[in-house]
Amino acid sequence: MPVTSAIHDFVAVITFSNPPVNGLGQAIRRGLIDALNEALENDAVKAIVVTGGSQYFSGGADIREFNTPQVQMEPSLHSVINAYEASTKPVIVAINGTALGGGLELSLGVNYRVASANALIGLPEVKLGLLPGAGGTQRLPRAAGLENALNMIVSGTPVLAKTLADTRLFDRISQGDAQDDAIALAHEVVAAGKPLPHVRDWKIDHPNAEGFLGFSRTAIAAASGPYPAPLRCLDAIEAAVLKPFDEGMQVERAGFMALLETPESKALRHAFFAERAASKVTDIGSDVKPREIKRVGIIGAGTMGGGIAMNFLNAGIPVTILEVKQEFLDRGLTTIRKNYDNSAKKGRMTAEQVEQRMGLLTPTLAYADLGDADMIIEAVFEEYDAKKAVFEQLDKVAKPGAILASNTSTLDVDRIANFTSRPQDVLGTHFFSPANVMKLLEVVRGKATAKDVLATVMALAKKIKKTAVVSGVCDGFIGNRMIEQYSRQAGFLLDEGALPQQVDRAIEKIGFAMGPFRMGDLAGNDIGWAIRKRRYREKPDMTYSKTADLLCEMGRYGQKTGSGWYDYKAGDRTAYPSAEVDAMIVKHSADIGVTRRKIDDKEIVERLIYSLVNEGAHILEEGIAAKASDIDTVYLAGYGFPVWRGGPMFYADTVGLSHVIAAMNRYAKGYQGDAWEPAPLLRKLADAGQSFNTTAKPA
């Protein structure tokens, strides 16, 4: 039963349950109303306690209902809160654990609130591009004070209940069991015949509310960038201060409805769902039991290997790290320690924690020392010969059932798996650099990868706080295969008339963290050069602008060599446009007989993003990605795609796929037009008026 009632003496205890986070879904809302009515009709009941009865009081509105008819069905959350507020018998909420969004708003509608000291309390709606839509903006400032409420609502960050102990929000902070304390309070209220207080009647006390709101408006406007929600939150809070309660509720309602329709909120909600959906693999059910990972081995103590190791150390998992030479091992360990020491200096961890983590790390030069590892991750050179040497060794020393993973970013995982006698235990774990910082992890499922191996790595990813997305085997997997098309377009734009700074500026203006050329300078242009050299052999038909090769021939590898697409000054990461590079680009256009033309920002943005979209469509069609939202998650978590645009596939859905095709057809008539052959899936969906993302289709 989603909602149950039990009578303790004369107190009705109503408990609602809706795993995983006690969201206030339709069945819960209905059950809460029925249980209330039953308690009101029962003469033996003198007071009512409402509780979530698990580690969650409630995560708020059930977001799984957001795109379904249930969300419109009565009773709405408003109706539930109104009914509880109108109760003629005292109602006490027992906040046993996390109370977020609508869960906190429900609590604010009743007469008394008891919270566990360590329960997390928050209104996180702003993180979904919304504002609290069930009275939170009106009641929280009355109960927790204007400044506390504003901070909580505008940041969306939850706080511990005990930090609000000196406000009117909670009548009691519980050190033990919140439900027991709520029942005790019910007894007191009934015995004393206490009145039924309502938060809506309370005044907002602040010595200079208007001054504070004015100051906050300036600060929020400056900090909220492209997001409309924070200022809308402020509007509603201001109405709580300046207007009667019911009028304030109308301002809140209007703000909520307006935000619901904004592309930013749609994109944020899509991103939230997409990330959680990515961890679910269709053919792996809960019957597939993950293997236990108690110890990890890592081959290679370079930048990648060291960064990967830190993820496990941070999660308390011991790591054995292997190198071929003592000198490399020493250097790797020094770097890891330096990273931790830097974090300690910035106050992010204590000196003791640094020692604890370093204590979990065992360096070795001997493969035999990896015999007790439950999972071994290889992070050596991107060459088959190097991988072959490592995996043949691992096959000899790894214990039966150990998972063997390759951190390759472009090579064929199936071929790597066949270097061993146990391809079922092999898969790819593609970390992004710096591996201890970047959230994305592409988990590459080989043809032979066993289900429990994949399930293990997906669960492990959660443990080390990565956003994991499953990719099939192909050159570049999801992220890099798409970025190659994007880089090709960036190069063609140079051939035709643009300069690196113009391309970067155009794409950064729409919200990308970094344009393709600044990104190349950061990552090292020599890496792309090496990959292209391989491509020239393997795929001679694939065309590229020569400018990137010419740049490397000039020795301009990027920040690490002090110059790349841009010039750099020592100790300064600012990218300064380079006259030398501009001249090289202009000369190259002349050499290939292209008359340079002025290219506008719109064309730059469309060509860069639609090149991602078209390759994404191929990837989806080939089953390399299981769903469009997985591709979006890759780009949001790993490639600096602006979150408020929801990822490339969602962005294309928002533009409309037929518009995307129309633009591609235009570009097909231009320079290097062959790149613009629409993927069959894109064409099919566009013809049918459909979108890539079916579950989170923008309305």
- By beta-carbon distance, which residue lies closest to ligand T1G? 101
Q: Which of 411, 424, 339, 333 has its CA nearest to residue 378?
A: 411
What amino acid is encoded at 364 in this protein?
Answer: T
Judged by CB, which is closer to ligand T1G: 20, or 347?
20
Nearer to ligand T1G, 39 or 153 (CB): 153
Name beta bridge partners: 320: 297, 362
Pairing of strands 361-364, 56-58: unpaired
Between residues 100 and 450, which has the closer beta carbon with respect to ligand T1G? 100
105 tagged catalytic: yes
Q: Is the dihedral of CA 681, 686, 687, 690 positive or negative?
A: positive
CB-count exposure of residue 621 (10 Å: 0-12, 13-18, 19+): middle
Q: Which chain residues interact with ligand T1G by CB under 6 A?
A: 20-21, 23, 59-64, 77, 100-102, 105, 124-125, 128, 132-134, 136, 276
**Cβ(190)–Cβ(180) below 8 Å:** no
If the CB atoms of residues 109 and 300 are measured against ligand T1G, the closer one turns out to be 109
In terms of CB distance, is 136 or 332 closer to ligand T1G?
A: 136
- Rounded Cα distance between 616 and 629, Å, is 11
577 preceded by cis ω (within 30°)?
no
Please tell me the distance from the alpha carbon of residue 254 to that of residue 667, in angstroms, as a whole number. 42
- The two most distant CA atoms of the chain are separated, in Å, by 94
195-222: burial string, b at 16+ Cβ within 10 Å, e else: eeebbbeeebeeeebeeebeebeeebee
Report the Cα 105 to chain-centroid distance in Å: 25
CB nearer to ligand T1G: give 269 or 387: 269
- For the question of residue 125 being annotated catalytic, the response is yes
Comparison of 80 and 308: residue with beta carbon closer to ligand T1G? 80
Contact indicator for 622, 474 with CB cutoff of 8 Å: yes
Q: Which residue, 62 or 495, is less far from ligand T1G as judged by CB?
A: 62
Structure-token pair, residue 93 = 């909420």
Amino acid identity, residue 609? I
Catalytic residue among 38, 41, 74, 125: 125
**Burial grade of 142 (CB within 10 A; 0-12, 13-18, 19 or more):** buried
Q: Which amino acid is it at 644? A: W
Q: Which helix (H) or strand (E) holds 362?
A: strand 361-364
- Sort strands 319-322 and 296-299 into parallel, antiparallel or unpaired: parallel
What phi and psi values does residue 157 have, to the nearest 5 degrees?
Answer: -85, 125
Nearest 10 degrees: Cα torsion 37, 38, 43, 44: -130
d(CA 689, CA 419): 46
Question: What are the residues facing 567 on neighbouring strands?
Answer: 563, 576
Which residue in the list 38, 74, 105, 383 is annotated as catalytic? 105
Q: Cα Rg for the chain, rounded, in angstroms?
A: 29
Min. distance of Cβ 124 from ligand T1G in angstroms?
A: 4
Q: Which is nearer to ligand T1G, 151 or 335 (CB)?
A: 151
Name the token pair of 620: 């989806």
Comparing CA positions, the residue from 412, 68, 471 lying closest to residue 278 is 471
Catalytic residues: 105, 125
